[in-house]
Amino acid sequence: MEKTIKKISGYFDALEFWNSCELGKPVVKDTEVIIPASHIEIFEDHPLNQTGRPIIWGESKLVFGGVRRSDRVVFEYLGDPKSGGGFKRSYQISDGPFALVDEPVMTFVFEGILLEPLSYVTWEIDSVSFHLEVEESIA
């Protein structure tokens, strides 16, 4: 079975992150931020969802192009997240610096579970574009 990469531009508002999404270590290249993600909830109005109800998608990549700013606030868990032990003191991570982008940017805000370090994260990215990359199997 052959696999191809499908890129879906836009539809950021048809994605839900906070209650199930796991986020990997971001890759920052020039004016691009690529974040591996899994367990994103995808609403019915997204092109990947033909079920008529929300679905959870496996592996994907969040790709932001023409990035001007990428900031995240990290809340590392104290012990196992399910233990209810709370969080360490939060801190901010800013990616970049990024090359100057002359085009208008949009602000994308999302939350989820950062896998490294294991933490809850809130993330804001100002970028020109966003697309979701997923692998599709072709028979």
CA dist., res. 72 & res. 57, Å (int): 23
Q: What pLDDT digit, counting tens, does each position of 79-106 carry?
A: 887 788 889 999 999 999 998 889 999 9
CA dist., res. 76 & res. 6, Å (int): 33
Q: Report which residue type is found at 35.
A: I
Q: Which residues contact 107 (CB under 8 A, 6 or more apart)?
A: 124, 125, 126
State the pLDDT at residue 1. Answer: 64
State the pLDDT at residue 137. Answer: 66
- In this structure, of 18-22, 64-68, 72-76, 121-125, the range with the lowest mean pLDDT score is 18-22
Contact assessment for residue 138 and residue 2, using Cβ atoms and an 8 Å cutoff:
yes
Q: What pLDDT digit, counting tens, does each position of 15-70 carry?
A: 999 878 999 999 999 899 999 999 999 999 999 898 999 999 989 999 999 999 99
Closest to 131 measured CA to CA, from 21, 14, 4, 51 = 14
Q: How confident is the model at residue 136 (pLDDT cuts 50, 70, 90)?
A: confident
CA dist., res. 41 & res. 123, Å (int): 17
